[in-house]
C-alpha cells in the first residue's frame, strides 16, 4: 500500500460570522476575522490518497486524473472567490477552515467514483493550510 499527497493552492476571502451569535459575541469569538469587509488567505490544500502500486505503471494514483477532479471541484469554484457570498455551501455555514475542510472532502468523496471507478485509489484525507501556522485535517472515512 502506498500513500500519495498532492498539493494545491487557491486564494479566497471570507468573514467569520455566525448567524447564531450576537454581533458582540461574534466580535469576541472571531476577533479581527469578524471584520465586516472580510480578509483573504492563500489556502494550501493537500489531498492524500492511498492504493496499491499498479504493477504495469508502478504508480498508486494517476495524478492527472486527481488534478482534474480537484481543479473542477475545489480550485476553480473557490479560487478568487468570497466564500461567504459566492459558494452556496457557506451561505449559512461559517467558512472556517474546519468547515472548508468538510466541504472539500465531501465534494471529492461525492465525485470520487466518477473519476476513479475501481477499488483503488481511495481518498484518505485532506489538509488545509490557512496560514503557515494553522493546519486543518479531515479524514475521508470520518465524514458522511
Ligand atoms: Ni481568515
For the stretch 100-134, pLDDT in tens is 999 999 999 999 999 999 999 999 999 999 999 99
- List the catalytic residue out of 33, 86, 98, 124: 33
What nine digits make up the cell of 74? Answer: 475545489
- Cα of 58 vs centre of ligand 1, distance in Å, is 40
The overall average pLDDT reported for the chain is 97
Mean pLDDT along residues 57-82 = 97
Please confirm, yes or no, whether 33 is among the known catalytic residues: yes
- List the catalytic residue out of 23, 130, 137, 144: 130
- List the catalytic residue out of 20, 80, 98, 144: 80
Mean pLDDT along residues 73-102 = 97
Amino acid at each position: 500500500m502506498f500513500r500519495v499527497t498532492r498539493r494545491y493552492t487557491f486564494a479566497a476571502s471570507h468573514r467569520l460570522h455566525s448567524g447564531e451569535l450576537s454581533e458582540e459575541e461574534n466580535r469576541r469569538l472571531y476577533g479581527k476575522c469578524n471584520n465586516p469587509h472580510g480578509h483573504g488567505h492563500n489556502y494550501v490544500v493537500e489531498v492524500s490518497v492511498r492504493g496499491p502500486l499498479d504493477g504495469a505503471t508502478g504508480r498508486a494514483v494517476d495524478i492527472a486524473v486527481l488534478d482534474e477532479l480537484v481543479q473542477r471541484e475545489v480550485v476553480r469554484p473557490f479560487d478568487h472567490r468570497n466564500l461567504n457570498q459566492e459558494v452556496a455551501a457557506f451561505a449559512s455555514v461559517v467558512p472556517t477552515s474546519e468547515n472548508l475542510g468538510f466541504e472539500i472532502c465531501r465534494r471529492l468523496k461525492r465525485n470520487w467514483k466518477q473519476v476513479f471507478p475501481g477499488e483503488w485509489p481511495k481518498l484518505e484525507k485532506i489538509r488545509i493550510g490557512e496560514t503557515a501556522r494553522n493546519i486543518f485535517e479531515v479524514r475521508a472515512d470520518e465524514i458522511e
